[in-house]
Structures are given as structure tokens and as C-alpha cells.
Amino acid sequence: MTEIIDGNAVASTLREELTGCVETLAAADERPTLATVLMSEDPASETYVSMKQDDCEEVGIGARDVTLDADAPAEDLFEVVDDLNNDDDVNAILVQSPVPDHVDYREVLERIDPMKDVDAFHPENVGRLVAGYPRYKPCTPHGIQRLLAAADVDTEGKDAVVVGRSRIVGKPMVNLFIQDAPGGNATTTVCHSRTDDLAAKTREADIVVAAAGVPELVDGSMLEEGAVVIDVGINRVEAEDGDGTTLVGDVDFESAKEKASAITPVPGGVGPMTRAMLLYNTVKATSLQTDTAVEL
Ligand code: NDP
């Protein structure tokens, strides 16, 4: 029987735990606050930001919302980041990507105070992760570690294949899998668009993480019997019945389910965990900044 790993349920349990942590921090007069910065008229970005604010509200985290015109000068965004860095009432900063073309996103990331960098994209936080002593773990791969733990999947000694080498998913996933730490110690292969014979690699894997942004790239024929399959992809495609669009992952769920011992659905798998881990990092940031202990 294939286990469908329920990301909504795991995220919901985590949110309950985080609500308790937020209460502890609030009792010490240190209620966490996350500032989101939106510089885009993209409706998807607007939706992501408003979902993040709703998530904060649900667990009692304060939300600060800064919106800039998409055609404002880059300097305006840098000033906003500087102000939030210097604001003691703000514990966590997230600049929603993508930013407009005239803004250098790298410069934005490097400007955010690493202690408030809850995406964990600042080079200091990336460096700490690679060096093996992460301060914050990037939300999507950290959420995947939590999902695997919730499904009782021990990564130690397993062969893991990560499909995709992006800065936000593939690379940090590889780094977490190879850490000598719980959720790590996997023998890890990273694949990308230049990989010769992807199927030969995924067929060797006990754990496959698909994060390529290619609809249904990984199907059942590419999996070993009993593999654990984590589908990160979120792709909007035309619905099969021709009626509008639908969301699919990077895994062909139906054929993969026949081979997998456990698999995440899309939607309802990795997505809710990514959102919950942002709250986790915000709570952790507040705890670190205020020296108030919480059980994370
Ligand atoms: P990127 O486009 O930044 O990276 C995609 C990676 O996949 C690249 O490394 C690319 O290789 C590789 N790739 C592309 N095509 C193939 C192929 N045919 N075979 C093997 N590798 C391939 O994407 P992201 O990492 O940002 O996102 C990946 C997917 O995950 C997207 O669908 C995105 O929407 C989704 N996502 C979902 C999240 C969630 O919470 N569920 C969070 C973040 C992303 P190369 O480097 O050679 O170009």
C-alpha cells in the first residue's frame, strides 16, 4: 500500500506547535514579527504574500506589509530593507521574488540582515548551511526533511537523487541530505538539465526529490520499486478535459504511485510545508535575537 504523505496534516501539527512557541515569546514581551516586502504587480506574488500574512495571523505572529511600486527605483527597496534591518520590532524579513528586472535580486539578498533572513538566502546563511552549521534552513528543503521524518523515512545510508540544482530547492536539499545530522547522511546525487540519462539515476534512488519545474518529468518507469517520492513541482497546465487549467507536479502521480512506497501529492504535499517552515524560521529568528528559549 503506497503511503500518500499528507503535507497539510504535517504542516497543521507544526503550526500548532509554533502557536505554543509564539505564546511563550509573547509572554516574554517578544512576539515575533515578519515583514514581507512586495515590489511587483504580479497577481501570483500578491497572493503568496497575502497567504504568508494569513499564516502569520493564524499562529499569532505579527505581520508587517510593505508594498512598493514595481517601477520604483531600486534604491527605494534598499532603503526599505535597511529600515527593516534597523527596526527592533521586526524579527524576520522576506522580500518576495521575483523583483523587477531593474533591481539586482542578489544585492537585495545580501542587504538583508542575516539574522532576519528567514528565507536563508543570504550568502552568510548559505555558507553556514554548506559548512554544516546552519542558522536557518531554507523553507522548502527543510519542509521536505520534516515530511520524510513524519513518514518515518530514515535518510541515513539511503541513496537520494535530487532532480534540480536551484538556489532555493535543489542545492540546499543536497546540502541537507549530506549533513551528518538527522534527516541527512544520505548518499546524494544531484541531477539537472545536462544530466545524461536521468532515468538511470532516479532508478537507483531510494528517495527521489523532483524539483525541476517540468510537468510530470518523473514517471513510474523511472523509479525503483518502493522508492520514496517527493514532488516539489508546481506547474499550471491545461486541464485534460480542456476546461481551464490545473496544477500538476514534476512527478506523474498515477504511474509513480504504483511503484512508490510513499509519495507526496500536488497540491497538498511540499507546498504547505514550505509555508509552515517560514513561520518556523520566524519563530527561531525571534528566539535567537531575544535569547528567549522556545522548544523548536
Ligand atoms: P528552477 O527553474 O530555478 O530550477 C529548476 C532546476 O531543474 C534547474 O536546476 C534545472 O537544471 C533542472 N531541470 C530543468 N529541466 C530538467 C530536466 N529535464 N531534467 C533534469 N533537470 C532539469 O526551479 P525551482 O527550483 O525554483 O523550482 C522547481 C519547481 O518547484 C517549480 O515547479 C517550482 O514552481 C516549484 N517550487 C515549489 C515549491 C513548493 O513549496 N512546493 C517551492 C519552490 C519551488 P539547470 O540548472 O541545468 O537549468
Q: Is 161 in the pocket of ligand 1 (CB under 6 A)?
A: no
- The segment(s) of the chain belonging to CATH 3.40.50.720 are 139-272
Domain 139-272 has CATH 3.40.50.720: yes
CA-nearest residue, atom 40 of ligand 1:
271
Question: What's the pLDDT tens digit per position in 45-94?
Answer: 999 999 999 999 999 999 999 999 999 999 999 999 999 999 999 999 99
Is residue 60 classed as helix, strand or coil in its secondary structure? coil
Question: What's the pLDDT tens digit per position in 160-205?
Answer: 999 999 999 999 999 999 999 999 999 999 999 999 999 999 999 9
Residue 218 has pLDDT above 90, yes or no: yes
CA-nearest residue, atom 5 of ligand 1:
212
Sign of the C-alpha dihedral, residues 55, 56, 58, 59?
positive
Mutate to test the pocket of ligand 1, among 217, 232, 275 (most ligand atoms within 8 A of CB): 232
Asked if the interface predicted TM-score (ipTM) of this complex is over 0.95, the answer is yes
Residue 240 has pLDDT above 90, yes or no: no
- DSSP assignment of 189-228 equals EEE-TT-S-HHHHHTT-SEEEE-SS-TT-B-GGGS-TT-E
Active-site residue, from 55, 113, 119, 206: 119
- The segment(s) of the chain belonging to CATH 3.40.50.10860 are 29-116
Q: Give the H or E element holding residue 235.
A: strand 235-238
164 in a labelled binding site: yes
Is 119 tagged catalytic?
yes
Q: Is 118 in the pocket of ligand 1 (CB under 6 A)?
A: no
Q: If you average pLDDT over residues 21-36, what whole number do you get?
A: 98
- CA distances to 38, 121, 146, 209 from 183, rounded to whole Å, are 33, 20, 8, 14
* Ligand 1 midpoint to CA 215 (Å): 10
Is 171 tagged catalytic?
no
Closest approach atom of ligand 1 to CA 217: 18
Architecture of domain 29-116: 3-Layer(aba) Sandwich (3.40)
Record the pTM: 0.98
